[in-house]
Amino acid sequence: MGTTTKTQTYEVRELLNLGCGRLMFKSADNVDEGEIKNPPYPYIQENAMDYLARMYPKVRYKKIIAFFFLEHLKPVDLSFIPYLINQALTMGGEFMAVVPDFDSICKLYLEGKLSLRMAEIDVLSQNNMGPHSTLWNKQKVEELFLEDGFELIEYRTGVAGRGIGGLIRVQKIAEDGTPPELYRSVEELP
């Protein structure tokens, strides 16, 4: 799958593509829980959260990407994703994601530049991954990632494919972040 090198006690790989769908990269570890017919490249059919948990501490990545994936996570999973991504990245590694940007969608709708139907599709989208469970904007990104060992490199909005997206780029600046309370309490069990 990805390019690998041995470092310390874990293997370092170049790129992890979470919730890839058909957007796969030849040099990446592409992960999607759905069955993809005739995929362009090999992929790992597994839940992304399970994959991140399973691979730690054996493998770390220099870069992790997730395009139109985070918005499908349920709130309980969302609280764990920054921690799991932090564990999976090398120090200085980068996480990049694209999500529907709720603030931009509302602004364009109120300005008459986006129809109600398109706004509903961007906010409530239902596809093979199910409906969107989380609304995203820059504040949401900061709330989730900046408290878990990341630094915001970039948050930019614009048109992404057929939707209004927010590009998120954060860099790991602290080791392992802080586990969510539920995770912390499980670790403390005898």
Number of structural domains (the chain) is 1
End-to-end C-alpha distance for the chain, whole angstroms = 37
d(CA 96, CA 141): 11
State the pLDDT confidence band at 186, using cuts at 50, 70 and 90: very low
Single-letter amino acid code for the residue at 145:
F
State the Cα–Cα distance between residues 15 and 30, nearest whole angstrom: 9
- Provide the residue type at 138 as one letter: K
Q: Which two tokens stand for residue 59?
A: 């493998």
Between these two residues, 50 and 20, which has the higher pLDDT value? 50
What's the average model confidence in pLDDT over 12-27?
93
Mean pLDDT of 64-71: 91
CATH number of the domain residue 107 falls in: 3.40.50.150
136: pLDDT strictly greater than 90? no
What pTM value is reported for the model? 0.82
Whether 91 has a pLDDT exceeding 80, the answer reads yes
Structural domain that includes position 123: 4-187
